[in-house]
Amino acid sequence: MDSFSLFDENYKIVCDKIQNAANSVGKNFEDITLLAATKTVPVETINYSFEKGIKYMGENRVQEFLSKEEALNKGFHRHFIGTLQTNKVKQIVGKVELIQSVDSVKLAKEISKQSVARNITSNVLIEINIGSEENKSGLDKSKINEILAEISEMNGIFVKGLMTLGPIFENNLQKSKFFEEMYKIYIDNRGKIKDNIDIGILSMGMSDDFDLAIKCGATMVRVGSALYGKRNYN
């Protein structure tokens, strides 16, 4: 099957699952933002998916994003979803609508600095390492108040919500425990509105578990292989 037909088939399945999961918690399909995680996917396939209805896309490597950026449909909401090194911030700032992966004060400071230099504001999510896993990106959940307090003093950066990768588990019971904990952190912080903090987005759930994440309160899911087929790397 060619990559376009594969996408068509998969897209329908993903949309049905989103719809069902949303309905099961009293939400509508439109309440959930489906972001296509497009690493390794060729630009022509990504642009094809735009025509079919995908409006949000995210890349997780700076180099790959930059190599695709110009050829991407101009209508895309472009997000950066991968680990971001401080020294690469200047290559990304101003080119994406949302950086989903801010997991340290140091990174936030650099985004602030590069944004102020360009006279813009960068929207970000705070990435939480909800499973407290070693060697995994994301901020420890105990540090959320601290980072929000620090960012509230910065210019050029606006916190729109929270993101997590979530631990990889075989069983849904364990997964939903972490998703529920993440949702609780989201609710606890949602009301804390400051000049540059307004937590509305909860980005969690990927190909294997996006329906579960929606049932646990996700407002945005990031789906790659369930739309485009299996990849050779992560």
Ligand X SMILES: *Cc1c(COP(=O)(O)O)cnc(C)c1O
Stretch that binds ligand X, among 16-24, 71-79, 128-136, 216-224 (CB under 6 A): 216-224
Q: Which residue, among 32, 120, 38, 115, has the nearest Cα to 73 in the 3D structure?
A: 38
Query: To the nearest whole angstrom, how small is the minimum distance from the Cβ of residue 56 to ligand X?
Result: 12
Binds ligand X (CB under 6 A): choice among 81, 93, 98, 139: 81
- Comparing CB distances to ligand X, the nearer of 156 and 215 is 215
Task: Work out whether the CA dihedral 103, 93, 229, 234 comes out positive or negative.
Answer: negative
Binds ligand X (CB under 6 A): choice among 34, 96, 139, 226: 226
- Comparing CB distances to ligand X, the nearer of 104 and 196 is 104
Q: How far apart are CA 82 and CA 17, in angstroms?
A: 25
- Is residue 81 within 8 Å of residue 222, measured between CB atoms? yes
Q: How far apart are CA 142 and CA 117, in angstroms?
A: 31
What's 194's DSSP letter?
Answer: B
Q: How far apart are CA 106 and CA 10, in angstroms?
A: 39
Structure tokens that stand for 82 in this block: 């991968």
166 binds ligand X (CB under 6 A): no
Site string for ligand X, 126-155 (x = CB under 6 A): ------------------------------
Please report which residue ranges of the chain form alpha helices under DSSP H: 3-24, 43-52, 62-69, 89-92, 105-117, 144-151, 172-190, 210-215, 225-228
Stretch that binds ligand X, among 67-75, 91-99, 173-181, 222-230 (CB under 6 A): 222-230
206 binds ligand X (CB under 6 A): yes
- In order of 59, 90, 107, the CA distances from 87 in angstroms are 17, 7, 9
207 binds ligand X (CB under 6 A): yes
Residues 32-61 that bind ligand X (CB under 6 A): 37, 39, 60
68 binds ligand X (CB under 6 A): no
Stretch that binds ligand X, among 48-56, 152-160, 211-219, 224-232 (CB under 6 A): 224-232
Structure tokens that stand for 185 in this block: 């952190």
125 binds ligand X (CB under 6 A): no
Residues lying near ligand X in the complex (CB under 6 A) are found at: 37, 39, 60, 81-82, 165, 206-207, 222-226
